[in-house]
Structure 1
Amino acid sequence: MHATSRQDHEFRGLRVAFVSTRIAGKDGVSLEIEKWATVLEALGAECFYIAGECDRPDQRSAIIEAAHFRHPEITAITAEAFGRRGGRPSALTERIFQRAGAIRDALNQALQRFGIDVVIAENALTIPMNLPLGVALVWSLEELSLGCIAHHHDFYWERERYLDSQVDDLLRYAFPPALPRIQHVVINQMAAEEFSRRTGLYCHVVPNIMDFAHPPPPNLSAVQTLRRQLGISEGEWLILQPTRVVARKGIEHSVELVRRLSHPARLVISHASGDEGMAYAHFTAQRYFSYQVLDEALRPLLRQALLAGRTR
């Protein structure tokens, strides 16, 4: 995570803006933003944050309420745009572009106020949880002639709820956009191959990382409580996969890893399937193993004891 002196000089004073629907809490995107920012700052860059919700320092942040995927108008647009095919009502088109225009204006103002040189779009040009934000971001990049790194975590074609839509043209336009000023980044090779197959575009692979050289101090009391509540014996290893039980997370590979260990171990998947259905969870449970999904009471303990390293 350390930059050379040449790199420090090359990027010193560069102003970078992370743009996303939400940059707050401990969701995967927010955690990766924190890690990227740490590396960028080591290179000499200054980092700023633009989102619908943000817990970064006020002097380096701009909040655009309609950029949040839970903004009432955005949730209404999403509900109407997806789940059905066919012609798109003109009223929906008007609402999308009207809201995109308002977001674009606020985005341009924030980017210019911070004097931004490079934008890093965090999933905002990847999954259409906020259609107007994606469209607005494309407009802003073109109008301000800004370079962009589009950091893609999960694509709309990986989510069943986005497969039927009335906005296929907008998905091709902005999720992701084919602009020469954008460098596309995905988090694994499987995503890279599917991305290029679908879009014809090149992308870089930058896996999600952890700073193993600087782990957080262990909270032994919380660890012991967690192990007891999960029924893990003193001699067993706890192997954590901090993801939901969905196909793209490759649960079966973790199962195989644990099976090959020469030491007794228990695999724990931290989250349920959520809004992506239970088909994969049922398939995995029946074919491979009996898994245990933590309920709401255990998740805070898990985050404290085992996921703290992801926030450092």
Structure 2
Amino acid sequence: MRRKVRGKDKNIGFISTRLAGTNGVSLEAAKWASIFESEGHLCFYMAGELDEDRPAERSLLVEEAHFKHPAIREILRGCFGVKTRKPCMTKKIYQVKDRLKKQIYQFIRDFEIELLVPENALAIPLNIPLALAITEVIAETGIPTIAHHHDFFWERKRFLINALWDYLNMA
């Protein structure tokens, strides 16, 4: 990618469901990226939706990371407003999680990511498989991580009745 001065600059990877538009997560990520880059770091992006102005050579679009992806919407419909989860939903969550996890490993490898910044992905259950995939990658690699969140599931009434408490606590 580029010659680096060890200990000075880092390749920093932002991961979220969406890094596009004027929503709070995208704006916060842009602010953080601007600060990191002003300090000599290089920022990379992985999300289910990315702004066109993000450099393509530093971005990985993963459609299943988006909360509007059909598989994710199916999981949300099957797991909120109910207190028990059907085995087929558990299976679906793990299948999507495994695919997303492979993409995160690819992101880290291809861009030589040294610091992860999950943006709201571990705090609000808009994409449970993504949160689980990020959590497992962090646990398996020990990669330094700044979990940057400002929306939490307990702050939204629609997320309080769910069949995902085990996953919410895990992520």
Q: TM-score, normalised by structure 2?
A: 0.93
Contact 1:53 1:63 in 2 (8 A): yes
CA distance in 2, matches of 1:10, 1:160: 46
| Alignment pair present for 1:35 and 2:31 | yes
Deviations 1:177-213 (A, max 9, x none): xxxxxxxxxxxxxxxxxxxxxxxxxxxxxxxxxxxxx
**1:14-163 → structure 2 map (5 Å cutoff):** 14-55=10-51, 56-85=54-83, 87-163=84-160
Q: Verify the 8 A CA contact 1:81 1:165 in the aligned structure 2.
A: yes
- Using the TM superposition, give the Cα deviation of residue 111 of structure 1 relative to its aligned residue in structure 2, in angstroms: 1.0
Letter in 2 for 1:24: A
SS in 1 for 2:76: helix
Q: Structure 1: any 5+ residue segments left out of the alignment?
A: 1-8, 175-312
Summarize the alignment of residues 126-275 of structure 1 with structure 2, pairs less than 5 Å apart: 126-174=123-171
Instruction: Give the conservation status (yes or no) of the 8 Å contact 2:78–2:85.
Output: no
Structure ranking higher in strand proportion: 1
CA distance in 1, matches of 2:8, 2:46: 21
State the distance in 2 between where 1:147 and 1:163 align. 30
CA distance in 1, matches of 2:30, 2:128: 24
Q: Compare CA radii of gyration and give the structure with the larger one.
A: 1
Alpha-carbon distance, 1:37 to partner: 0.7
Cα pair 1:125 1:152 within 8 Å, conserved:
yes
Give the superposed CA RMSD.
1.3
Q: Given the two structures, how large is their TM-score scaled by the length of structure 1?
A: 0.52
Secondary structure of the corresponding residue to residue 146 of structure 2: strand
Cα distance, 1:147 vs structure 2: 1.1
